[in-house]
A = this chain, B = another copy of it.
Amino acid sequence: MGNTQHYAECIEECLKCAQACNQCYDACLNEEDVAMMRDCIRTDRECADLCFFAAQAMSTNSAYAADICRICAEACEACGRECEKHAHAHCKRCAEACFRCAEACRRMVAQAV
């Protein structure tokens, strides 16, 4: 059984990643080449939603926090891999935040076992 202090680093990365994903989502929808960004738009929303949900689960000390972080790590990894294909600055920033968050989630899950 973890406690919320224990989760501090992972919460921090989830919240940064959610913001980067949402900013990338907004920027992608404004890009001229929006057709090329369709997968990025989708993974951005999916990842942002999971990151906020994981942060909420950790900060309420939910019994499902580790299970949610396990899914969040996958979503971050997938979003990061999609974002790094694109040259836009918002995609590069987002990919970086995603990979950092994926790692923080995996560390959190490993400690929770």
- Residues of chain A touching chain B, judged by Cβ–Cβ distance below 8 Å, are 4, 11, 15, 18-19, 22-23, 25-26, 29-30, 34-35, 38, 41-42, 45-46, 48-50, 52-53, 55-56, 59-64, 67-68, 71, 74-75, 78
B18 adjacent to A59 (CB under 8 Å): yes
Residues of B within 8 A of A49 (CB): 53, 56
What residue in chain B is nearest A64 (Cβ atoms)? B71
B59 adjacent to A78 (CB under 8 Å): no
B68 adjacent to A71 (CB under 8 Å): yes
Residues of B within 8 A of A50 (CB): 64
Contact of A38 (CB < 8 Å), options: B34, B59, B71: B34
A60 adjacent to B22 (CB under 8 Å): yes
What residue in chain B is nearest A37 (Cβ atoms)? B34
Residues of B within 8 A of A29 (CB): 38, 41-42
